[in-house]
Structure formats: C-alpha cells, structure tokens
Amino acid sequence: MKGLTDISNKIKGFVDFVMRHGLTIMLIVVVAWFLHPAIQEIRTLLMLVGLEALAIVLSGFALFAYTKVDYLDFIMRGEDKELGERERAAVLGFLGYIFLSVHILIGLSVLGVYIVQFAN
C-alpha cells in the first residue's frame, strides 16, 4: 500500500509542476512558433516576451536552489526554530532579491548581446 501512495504522491507532484509552469512553457512555445513575423516591432515584442519567460523560469530555478539549502533554514528561523515577523519579512525580501537579480542579469545579458551584434 505504501508503494501505491508513493506513486500517487509522485503523480500529484508532477501534475503540480505542470500546473505551476504550464503557462510559462506554453508562452515559450508560442514565442518560438510565432517568432517569424514580417513586422519588426512584433518580432521585438515576441522576443521580449520570450526573454521575460526565460527570466521567470530562471527565477524559479534560483528560488528552488537557494531555498533548498539546509543552512538557509537555520539562518531564517534562528536558534528558537520559529519564524517571527521580522524573520518572515527578511525571507520575503530575500526571495524578492532573487527575482530582481535574475531579471537584472537577463537584462544585462540582452544588452551585451545587443551591443556586440550591432556595434560597428
């Protein structure tokens, strides 16, 4: 019976992953499919949407990577093992900084590629 429960939990985890990231995956597929329009402005807009989707995916990965580290839980909760109001605000600020830093890095990468491609 335990094996059946484990399989059920894995299926629920997969469905949860698809539900959370389905819109982003569909957005990337749509951008890749429609990246061939003739009007340059629409192409630029679609490229920006694709880069934003990439930034959101990378933010999710960074959030997963930084929140699964064991020592981070001790830093957030402190020695009393409880998450207080100030600690909760610090955690939310930390998560916001992850999101912001990934978007800044994506923007700087796009700027660098633009400068390299179009600089004479």
Which tens digit of pLDDT belongs to each residue from 32-85? 777 776 677 677 777 777 788 888 888 878 777 776 665 566 666 666 777 777
pLDDT of 89: 80
Cα–Cα dist 57/51, whole Å: 10
Nearest residue to 21 via CA among 74, 58, 76, 48: 58
pTM of this prediction? 0.54
pLDDT of 77: 65
Residues 6+ apart with CB under 8 A from 57: 21, 24, 28
CB 77 within 8 A of CB 87: yes
Cα–Cα dist 43/80, whole Å: 53
Residues 94-110 pLDDT 10s: 778 888 888 888 888 88
Where residue 115 falls among pLDDT bands split at 50, 70, 90? confident
pLDDT of 3: 66
CB count in 10 Å sphere of residue 47:
13
